[in-house]
Amino acid sequence: MSRPERAVAGDNEVQELIAKARTAQATYEAFSQEQVDAIVRDMAKYVYDNAEKLARMAVDETGIGNYEDKVLKKKGKARVIWNNLKGKKSRGIIGEDAENNLVYVAKPMGVVAAVCPVTNPVATPMCNGMFALKTGNAVIFAPHPKAQKCTEFLTAEFMKIVKKHGGPDNLIQTVKKGSVEKTQELMRAADVVVATGGGAMVKSAYSSGKPSYGVGAGNVPVIIDRGVDMKDAVGKIVTGAAFDNGIICSHEQFVLTPEESYDETVRLFKDTGKVWFTSDEKQIQKLREVVFADGHLNKDVVGKTAREIGALAGIDVPASARIILLPAKGAGTADILAKEKLCPVVAILPYKTFQDAVSKAKANLVVEGAGHSAALHSNDEGHIREAGVALPISRDRKSTRLNSSHT
C-alpha cells in the first residue's frame, strides 16, 4: 500500500528526500519476510564486523566517548538487536485471535524520520534503520551536525546491502548538512518520528503532528539495598558509569546507599582504583559549575574523560580515574548534581530507609528522566517490586547476588 504524495513546505532537500523515500518504500513494501530479514541481518552483521572502524570514525568526528567501549557497544548492539528481531513476523498476517474473530496484519507506516544524537552516531542509526526496514518502511536519518560524516558513511554502506538484495534506491537516506530547521521540517513531513536526543528535540518531535517515539534524558538513579554484596554492586556501578565516558543514557548517575554504609561505599569506590572522590566543598562546587554552566549541562563535558573534566575545573584528577564521585547535598531540586550529566561524574547520597531511597530516586526522576530507567542492587524481591511500582520509569535494572541483570 503506497502512500500518496504530500505537499511539503520548506527546504527543497527535505522535499526531495521524502519524495524519493516514498517511491522506494512503495517498492520495498512488496518484499517478502525472507527478503526483509536478509537485509536487516546483513545490516547488523556489517556493524558487528566493522565495529573497530566505525568506533574510530565516531570518536574522531565527534571528539567524545571512549574508543574501546564504542567497539564493545557496536558489537553488542548489533548482536542484541538482530537476536531480538530474527524470527519475528513483520510482513502480512502476523497472528490471529480466533476467540474474538480477529486477524492481525502488519502494515508499514511509510517514511520514518530518525533523529540521531551526537552521542551515538552509529548505534542509533543502526538500530532505527533495522527497525524501520524490518517493518517495511523507508528511513531518513537526521544526524547531529557533529556526526554528519559517520551517518552518511553508514547510510552508504547500508544502501550497498539493500542493493545487494535487490532493494530500491533511496530506501535509506540522510539529511545533508543537518540542522535544527531541517530536522523539524523532516519530522513534519515524515509519517512517523523516532527521536533520540535532548529534551528540546524530543518535545519538538511530539509537536510535529506525527506519531512520535521520543527518547530523552536518562538520569538513572541507582539504589544499593541493604544485604547485598557491596563490593560487587560498586564494581558494577563503576563499569556502567564509566562506559563510553558516561554518554550512555541508561548509565548510573546518582548512587543511593544506606547511611550506615556510606563511608564503606565511598571506600569501595576508591579501592577500585578507577574513581576519584573529593569531599572538599570548594572542589565540588567548581565541578558543579563546570558540568552545569549557568545551570545547564555544559556541552564541553559531554563524553569527556574524568581527567579532562577535572582540568576544566582546575583540578588535577589522575589519568587512572574513570569516574569522578561527588557527595550530593540532596536529591531532586536540592542539588543540580541530581540531573543528567552525560559524562563520568556521579553523585552519591545516603538514605535512611528503603522507602527513603525510593523517594529520593523518584525526586531525581521527576526533575529529569521520568519515563526512562533506574537501577537497583537488591536481594529483596519485595523491594524490587516496590521500586518498580513507585518509580516513574519504563525499565528497572536489578542485580542480585547471583549477578543476574534484567532490563
Annotated catalytic residues are 249
Q: Hunting for cell 526533575 — which residue is that? A: 367
Q: How far is CA 252 from CA 240, 247, 248, 304, in A?
A: 6, 10, 9, 16
Element (H, E) at 281: helix 281-291
**Helix spans in 1-147 (H):** 12-28, 33-49, 51-62, 67-85, 123-134
> In this structure, what are the phi and psi dihedrals at residue 142, rounded to the nearest 5 degrees?
-110, 95
CA proximity to 110, closest of 190, 221, 200, 209: 190
Distance CA 390, CA 362 (A): 8
Between the two ends of the chain, the Cα-to-Cα distance in Å is 36
Q: Which amino acid makes up residue 241?
A: A
CA proximity to 365, closest of 396, 398, 399, 340: 340
User: Taking a C-beta distance cutoff of 8 angstroms, is the pair 83, 131 a contact?
Assistant: no
User: Taking a C-beta distance cutoff of 8 angstroms, is the pair 202, 193 a contact?
Assistant: no
Q: How far is CA 136 from CA 8, 13, 204, 225, 373, in A?
A: 23, 23, 25, 45, 29
> In this structure, what are the phi and psi dihedrals at residue 254, rounded to the nearest 5 degrees?
-150, 115
User: Taking a C-beta distance cutoff of 8 angstroms, is the pair 321, 340 a contact?
Assistant: no
Distance CA 233, CA 224 (A): 7
CA proximity to 344, closest of 382, 379, 312, 370: 312
